[in-house]
Amino acid sequence: MPEPLPAIDEPTVIFVINRLWSPNSDDESVYAVTRGDWKVGASTRERARIALGIAGNVVRGAYRIDGWQPGGESGRWRFNGTPAPELDAVGKTVVHLAPRAGAANPIRRFLDGVPLSTPPVGAASEHMPERITPAPPSANPSVNPEPRERGPISLLAHELNREPLARIMYGQRELFHSNFLAWFFDEIPDLADAVFRDLTVDGNASVRRVDREQENLDLVMRWPGAAPLVIENKVFSLPEQDQLDAYRAKTARWKGSPAEHVLLSMSPPRMPLPDWRYLNYQELADRIDTALPENDHSYEVETLRHYSRVIRLLESLLATTMVRSFAESAWVDERQLSEIDSSQTRIGLRKLRARRVQGALDAAGPTSGWTESAISHGQPLVGWRRELRVAGHVIQAGWQYQEGQFRLCAVLPHLNGRGESAKVARAVFSEAHPALFDFAPLDGILSTPDGVVRPLDRFGHFDPDFIYRYIKATDQTVEQLIAASHTVHAGLDRIAE
């Protein structure tokens, strides 16, 4: 897969040439279709120094702009330029910078420079599209994985730290976005209508207004002659289906035209959502950029331009959590995360990475059982468990990985309880079935500093029914966790009644 486009610290304009480019295009034809004709205003013509021609989300041509001349139609322009090989841009992917397929505007302006693009490699959705067979559990997959990249998160964090809107957003996240979009709706109505009005259908509302937190709904937009537009706003997280169903039940009681429902999020939903339309933030940025008048530099319009840039930076930041290779470390590089000022954002990225590792486990792990991902005490956790019958009792057994601990664990519903006596009962049961906590089959799979099973001579407990032991296992790869799932699954098969 193509590598991501390096950051460009010069004013840049991107032109999408999908329909004009083909794999047989030579350098001259790529230049001809990239240079124009385009609808670019005076500000872009004055500031832009770099032009990129994009097809299939890959850079096909990169040029230094020497000047502009009128195009073949009134209001259109074409640039004169020279190739810019020093940018190392041609052949690089810009999947998180170029417009989405079907976007109305084929031009994207990065007049403050282009942030590093860090797209997922081989992953177009939250979960892998196919089941992948890992190396046999007896093999030792990538005990010494390739070093992780040390740049993308740090560079994106630096760019976000420079944006005042991003600094304000860090403390509130979803609340900030909802409040900002409500301000946009009220203060710049013509542009807001161009961005949002087509998301709903005709109806019988009589006023134009936006409501915040009406019946706990993030945003409700109304226009005369339209159905209400309900927007559930998420940034790093996704709502549960029952939460969306509850919101849908609330709006079903409203008088007048049935509402239209939009889920606004940077992460796609895991499954189709009946009665909800998914709108990603990248598309929102596209809609804003398309609506903005190029020659309007008022405070309000410039604020929207900065907001669009923040969205794109956040999209690229979230893209760093994608599982691009099973040889990667399971967790995001904490050295780079430390560059991000907001602890909430750091936690959000850890949580999203855990969910995406969970997706890889779903795709390539055992077909039985289930996976989990979570944040506990600010640290990511993933795991796999299955049900089995032991000594006449149905229990759950499997593993968890968190903060350098790889745990073999069991959930014992028949010994549910709190206090010392309940812990003793769970420990007695576990000592009678040591195969549930046998780390020996994992010796050739996990990389561990000492292989010592902890806690020494006892078990760890989480009330009311969870018991575990662990080994220190820092910096495990996704591939190692997948292989561990298969190995643990095989061991449980041998002891199940």
- Clarify whether residues 209 and 311 are in a common domain: yes
**Does a structural domain hold residue 154?**
no
Q: Which residues pair with 264 in a beta bridge?
A: 233, 279
- 3-state secondary structure at position 143: coil
Cβ atoms of residues 361 and 482 within 8 Å: yes
- Clarify whether residues 390 and 486 are in a common domain: yes
Q: Among the three residues 92, 116, 140, which one is the final residue of a domain in this structure?
A: 116
What is the predicted pLDDT for the residue at 116? 63
Show Cβ contacts of residue 10 under 8 Å, excluding neighbours closer than 6 positions.
49, 50, 113
Single-letter code of the amino acid located at 44 = T
Angle between helix axes 281-291 and 189-196 (nearest 10 degrees) is 130
Show Cβ contacts of residue 73 under 8 Å, excluding neighbours closer than 6 positions.
37
What is the predicted pLDDT for the residue at 113? 81
- Clarify whether residues 6 and 101 are in a common domain: yes
- Clarify whether residues 184 and 300 are in a common domain: yes
Structure tokens at 462: 């989480």
- Clarify whether residues 380 and 258 are in a common domain: no
Structure tokens at 425: 């009962």
Show Cβ contacts of residue 294 under 8 Å, excluding neighbours closer than 6 positions.
40, 41, 42, 43, 44
**Does a structural domain hold residue 324?**
no
- 3-state secondary structure at position 43: helix
What is the predicted pLDDT for the residue at 90? 93
CATH number at residue 295: 3.40.1350
Alpha-carbon distance of 52 to 362, in angstroms, equals 38
What is the predicted pLDDT for the residue at 478? 95
Q: Among the three residues 71, 92, 116, which one is the final residue of a domain in this structure?
A: 116
**Does a structural domain hold residue 130?**
no
- Clarify whether residues 312 and 173 are in a common domain: yes
- Clarify whether residues 181 and 90 are in a common domain: no
Q: Residue 153: which H helix or E strand, with range?
A: helix 152-162
- Residue 481, φ and ψ in degrees, nearest 5: -70, -35
**Does a structural domain hold residue 343?**
no
- Count of structural domains within the chain: 3
Measured from the Cβ of residue 456, the count of other Cβ atoms closer than 10 Å reads: 7
What's the domain range around 437? 367-495
String of b and e for 374-391 (b: at least 16 CB within 10 Å)?
ebeeebbbbbbbbebebe
Residue found by looking up tokens 């799979």 in the block = 445
**Does a structural domain hold residue 150?**
no
Alpha carbon distances (Å) from 413 to 305, 465, 469: 55, 6, 18
**Does a structural domain hold residue 342?**
no
What is the predicted pLDDT for the residue at 336? 82
Per-block mean pLDDT, blocks of 10 residues, the chain (497 long) = 79 88 87 90 87 88 94 87 93 69 68 64 36 41 41 78 80 80 96 94 93 91 96 80 88 92 84 84 83 85 90 82 88 85 83 90 93 92 97 96 95 95 96 96 90 91 96 94 96 90
- Clarify whether residues 483 and 386 are in a common domain: yes
Single-letter code of the amino acid located at 170 = Y
- Clarify whether residues 216 and 297 are in a common domain: yes
**Does a structural domain hold residue 335?**
no
Q: Among the three residues 317, 340, 358, which one is the final residue of a domain in this structure?
A: 317
What is the predicted pLDDT for the residue at 151? 63
Alpha-carbon distance of 298 to 313, in angstroms, equals 23
- Clarify whether residues 311 and 402 are in a common domain: no
- Clarify whether residues 186 and 296 are in a common domain: yes
Single-letter code of the amino acid located at 450 = D
- Clarify whether residues 193 and 309 are in a common domain: yes
**Does a structural domain hold residue 128?**
no
